């Protein structure tokens, strides 16, 4: 029999091999346990050999080299001020005895251009610095400045070399860059190149993306933006929504794929809002499903939101849904068709929760302008629409008719009849609008003919069905402005009550404060062409005294001393005529006349008054008081208003005797 088991001799010969793995484990453990102690001993020996040397300190006052034990070897890093300092350091370290070898990674401080410093976020908790740093700033001091911008959990590995030629205030821009780097995901890079700062990488989140864009607009003084390539963050679920508010405005929510897309979205939203406010709450992000066109998605969402009175249309990453109150019943069906049949490619239909709220107020508008006639708003049914269009077409043959009406319940009674009555009135205008709100209807616009405009203002309200309230406001280009009769009366009363016109005793000459009042009354006469202004003069109080320009400047007379001949003579002086044109006794005439003649008359009166100074008083005959002075004053006012632009048949002196006890000119409106 042959045995297959190894012999005892063979087992003794190969048994020692079984102990080799165990021996290896023991050796590795001993090495790992002893190596840190060896490295610390090597570093301590090297520091002792290099301490106290003057050439081991750089311009900032810090040691310019770093020592690291690597087993029994010593690694030396740093930037020596010059080659001689480097050689002396290496000789001292080699003679320290503890290191087996000295591995040098020492460079020399030199001038560089361009200056480049780079910070890279290699992990969530680590940032590596490379490139160059100014030699005049010590590594330790710079490290302390930069760590102030970082969380305590983030490690900072600085391998930048000391060089000459760094930019001004480098610590500030480096700290700014590290703070911005926290908003980038791992792999992000911040670079200072001379006096520019660049950022590259993916934003850590949607808010970080917006913050970075804002921060880069406010760089440290003396620095400008370099290469900036910040990618929007990727979100797990890309969302987008448009909310229609009760005030008609829109609120945009969710994500957009880029800043360009946001700009286009805002512009389109303004058109849908039709003048109402648009609030943008979107954030830029990536993550929209492949095959979905972002522009088609936003355009579709806005189109559906435009059919809402209040509510929202949302995209949740895969489906489109709508909820809220539609503008009318027709809109409910239209939104449903949009979501089921016309949604963007790659998007699934979502939930639909819509209702049609009653219209309040019920509105219809017809607008005529240079582009044609536009019909908008709501009508109760298709038959009503056809009746309205049938009333429009014969009267607007050469114009383009645009029908934008929608169908909805809730129309006021006799709506179509009211529109059929009002449309011919709109056809009389060169441009205008017919606006219906429940049972109120307003016609506004411009007419080429003043008479046509006046007729519309009176005939339009009377032509409408019972229970309808109508207003018409029609203007004529180039025609003078007209004012309502009641407004004319109120304005005249307010003007004359605030500034009553009192003539000086015995005089028909205008005082300086007459002219603004009379100018205002003349302007009012132009705005109220259908009214007649009657002017009544006033008498002087009995026994009143007046100063008269005479040879005796001190003469003082009473109005009782004015006899009939004197009154006639005064009227002759005040009325314009041949003698007045020749300059005979023109002081009163020119003072009562408007414009240049009035100013000249005032000057003449002043001159006569000055010339009369020093004259002695003179007695005048006493006679009974007459109303001639009142008529003279009224006629002077009428003459001024005629010359100021009032129509000849619009102003005149009041007939009859002046009102007893009147102390000022009285204006009365007739018509």
Within 8 A by CB and 6+ apart from 260, the residues are none
* CATH topology (fold) of 240-356: hypothetical protein tt1634 (3.40.1520)
Q: Which fold has domain 34-108?
A: 3.30.1340
Report domain extents, the chain: 34-108, 116-231, 240-356, 363-475, 485-670
User: Contact, 188 vs 114, CB < 8 A?
Assistant: no
Look at residue 30 in the predicted model and tell me its pLDDT.
46
376 Ramachandran zone, left/alpha/beta (phi>0; psi -120 to 50): beta
Mean pLDDT over all residues of the chain?
Answer: 79
- Give pLDDT, residue 1: 45
Tell me the average pLDDT across 478-499.
Answer: 81
CA 416 to centroid of chain Cα atoms:
41
Of 206-215, 429-438, 522-531, 574-583, the least confident: 574-583
Tell me which CATH code domain 485-670 carries.
3.30.1330.60
Strands, E assignment, 276-412: 278-280, 283-284, 308-315, 319-326, 348-356, 363-369, 372-379, 401-407
**DSSP helix/strand/coil, 414:** coil
Provide the CA 390 distance to its chain's centre, in angstroms: 44
Please, which pLDDT band fits residue 569 given cuts at 50, 70 and 90? very low
pLDDT, residue 98, reads 61
**Identical fold, 240-356 and 363-475:** yes
**Of 571, 509, 503, the residue nearest 540 (C-alpha):** 503
DSSP string, 429-472: SSEEEEEEETTEEEEEEE-SSHHHHHHHHHHHHHHSPTT-EEEE
Percent residues over pLDDT 70 in the chain: 75
Distance from C-alpha of 625 to C-alpha of 567, rounded to nearest angstrom: 10
Q: Which residues contact 103 (CB under 8 A, 6 or more apart)?
A: 70, 73, 74, 75, 76
Per the model's pLDDT, the better-predicted residue between 146 and 551 turns out to be 146
Q: 363-475: what fold?
A: hypothetical protein tt1634 (3.40.1520)
Higher-scoring residue by pLDDT: 583, 186: 186
Write the DSSP symbol of residue 246: T
Dihedral angle computed from the Cα positions of residues 289, 293, 298 and 302, in that order, rounded to the nearest 10 degrees: -120
Residue 23: which pLDDT band, with cuts at 50, 70 and 90? low
Of the candidate ranges 18-22, 499-503, 561-565, 645-649, the one whose mean pLDDT is the lowest: 561-565
Lowest mean pLDDT among 36-50, 156-170, 566-580, 653-667: 566-580
Instruction: Give 67-77 pLDDT, tens digit per residue.
Output: 776 776 777 77
- State the DSSP string of 52-96: T-GGGB-TTSSB-EEEEEETTEEEEEEEESSHHHHHHHHHHHHTT
Helical packing angle, 20-50 and 83-94, nearest 10°: 130
Q: Under a CB-based contact definition with an 8 Å cutoff, are residues 573 and 493 in contact?
A: no
Residue 514, pLDDT score = 92
Higher pLDDT, residue 124 or 614: 124
pLDDT of residue 598: 40
Query: Does pLDDT of 375 surpass 80?
Result: yes
d(CA 156, CA 150): 9
Residue 72's pLDDT is what?
67
Cα 297 to Cα 10, 235, 302, 318: the distances in Å are: 82, 17, 9, 11
Structure confidence at residue 43 as a pLDDT band (50, 70, 90) = low
Averaged over 479-497, what is the pLDDT? 81
Mean pLDDT to the nearest integer, 487-497: 88
Cis amide bond preceding 45, omega within 30: no
Give 430-472 pLDDT, tens digit per residue.
999 999 999 999 999 998 877 777 788 888 888 888 899 999 9
463 alpha carbon, distance to own chain's centre: 44
Predicted pLDDT at 11: 54
Q: Whole-angstrom Cα distance, residue 199 to residue 390?
A: 66
Mean per-residue pLDDT, 105-133 = 90
Span 593-641, pLDDT tens digits:
344 444 443 443 344 444 334 433 433 333 334 558 888 999 999 999 9
Q: Residue 488 — pLDDT band, cuts 50, 70, 90?
A: confident
Which pLDDT score, from 0 to 100, does residue 202 have? 95
Confidence label for 486 from pLDDT (cuts 50, 70 and 90): confident
The residue whose two tokens read 């095959």 is 291
Rounded Cα–Cα distance for residues 415 and 249 (Å): 29
Please check whether the domain covering 116-231 is classified as CATH 2.140.10.10: no
All residues at 6 or more sequence positions from 90 whose CB lies less than 8 Å from its CB, including other chains: 76, 102, 104, 106
Handedness of CA 59, 62, 68, 73 (dihedral sign): positive
What single-letter DSSP state applies at residue 509? P
pTM, to two decimals: 0.54
363-369 vs 431-437, strand pairing mode: antiparallel
Q: What is the distance between the alpha carbons of residues 99 and 556, in angstroms, rounded to a whole number?
A: 132
- The distance in angstroms from the start CA to the end CA of the chain is 154
The predicted pLDDT at position 484 comes to 79
What is residue 102's DSSP assignment?
E
Task: Answer for the pair 463, 491: CB distance below 8 angstroms, yes or no.
Answer: no
């Amino acid at each position: 029999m042959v045995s297959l088991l190894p012999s005892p001799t063979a087992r003794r010969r190969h048994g020692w091999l079984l102990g080799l793995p165990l021996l290896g484990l023991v050796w590795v453990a001993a090495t790992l346990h002893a190596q840190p102690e060896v490295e610390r001993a090597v570093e301590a020996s090297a520091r002792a050999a290099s301490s106290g040397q003057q050439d081991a300190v750089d311009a900032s006052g810090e040691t310019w080299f770093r020592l690291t034990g690597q087993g029994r070897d010593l690694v030396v890093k740093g930037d020596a001020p010059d080659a001689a300092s480097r050689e002396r350091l290496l000789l001292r370290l080699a003679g320290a005895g503890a290191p087996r070898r000295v591995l040098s990674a020492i460079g020399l401080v030199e001038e560089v251009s361009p200056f480049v410093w780079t910070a890279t976020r290699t992990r969530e908790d680590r940032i590596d610095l490379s490139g160059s740093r100014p030699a005049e700033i010590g590594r330790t001091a710079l490290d302390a400045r930069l760590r102030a911008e970082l969380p305590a959990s983030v490690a900072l590995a600085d391998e930048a070399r000391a060089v000459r030629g760094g930019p001004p205030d480098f610590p500030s821009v480096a700290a700014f860059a590290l703070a911005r780097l926290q908003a980038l995901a791992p792999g992000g890079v911040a670079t200072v190149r001379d006096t520019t700062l660049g950022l590259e990488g993916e934003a850590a989140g949607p808010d970080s993306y917006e913050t970075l864009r804002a921060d880069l607009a406010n760089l440290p003084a003396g620095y400008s933006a370099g290469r900036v390539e910040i990618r929007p963050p990727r979100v797990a679920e890309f969302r987008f929504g448009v909310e229609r508010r009760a005030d008609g405005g829109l609120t945009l929510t969710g994500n957009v794929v880029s800043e360009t897309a946001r700009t286009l979205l805002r512009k389109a939203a303004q058109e849908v809002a039709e003048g109402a406010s648009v609030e943008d709450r979107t954030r830029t992000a990536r993550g929209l499903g492949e095959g979905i066109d972002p522009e088609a998605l936003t355009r579709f969402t806005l189109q559906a939101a435009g059919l809402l009175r209040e509510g929202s249309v949302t995209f949740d990453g895969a489906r489109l849904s709508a909820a809220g109150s539609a503008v009318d019943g027709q809109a409910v069906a239209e939104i449903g068709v949009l979501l089921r049949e016309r949604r963007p490619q790659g998007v699934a239909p979502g939930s639909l929760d819509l209702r049609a709220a009653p219209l309040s107020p019920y509105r219809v508008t017809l607008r005529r302008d240079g582009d044609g006639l536009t019909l908008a708003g709501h009508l109760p049914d298709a038959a009503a629409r056809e009746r309205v269009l049938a009333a429009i077409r014969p009267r607007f043959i050469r114009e383009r008719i645009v029908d934008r009406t929608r169908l909805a319940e809730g129309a006021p009674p006799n709506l179509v009849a009211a529109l059929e009555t009002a449309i011919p009135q709109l056809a009389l205008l060169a441009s205008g609008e017919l606006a219906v709100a429940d049972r109120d209807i307003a016609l506004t616009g411009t007419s080429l003919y003043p008479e046509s405009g006046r007729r519309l203002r009176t005939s339009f309200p009377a032509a409408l069905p019972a229970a309808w309230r109508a207003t018409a406001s029609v203007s004529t280009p180039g025609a003078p402005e007209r004012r309502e009769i009641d407004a004319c009366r109120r304005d005249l009363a307010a003007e004359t009550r605030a500034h009553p016109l009192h003539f000086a005793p015995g005089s028909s000459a205008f005082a300086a404060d007459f002219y603004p009042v009379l100018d205002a009354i003349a302007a009012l006469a132009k705005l109220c062409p259908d009214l007649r202004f009657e002017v009544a003069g006033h008498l002087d109080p009995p026994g009143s005294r007046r100063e008269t320009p005479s040879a005796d400047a001190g003469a003082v007379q009473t109005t009782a001393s004015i006899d009939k001949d004197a009154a006639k003579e005064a009227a002759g002086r005040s009325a314009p005529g041949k003698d007045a044109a020749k300059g005979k006794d023109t002081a009163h005439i020119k003072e009562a006349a408007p414009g240049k003649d009035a100013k000249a008359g005032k000057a003449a009166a002043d001159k006569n008054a000055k010339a009369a100074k020093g004259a002695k008083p003179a007695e005048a005959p006493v006679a009974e008081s007459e109303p001639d002075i009142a008529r003279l004053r009224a006629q002077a006012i009428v003459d001024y208003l005629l010359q100021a632009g009032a129509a000849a048949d619009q102003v005149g002196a009041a007939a009859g005797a002046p009102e007893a006890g009147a102390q000022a000119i009285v204006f009365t409106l007739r018509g």
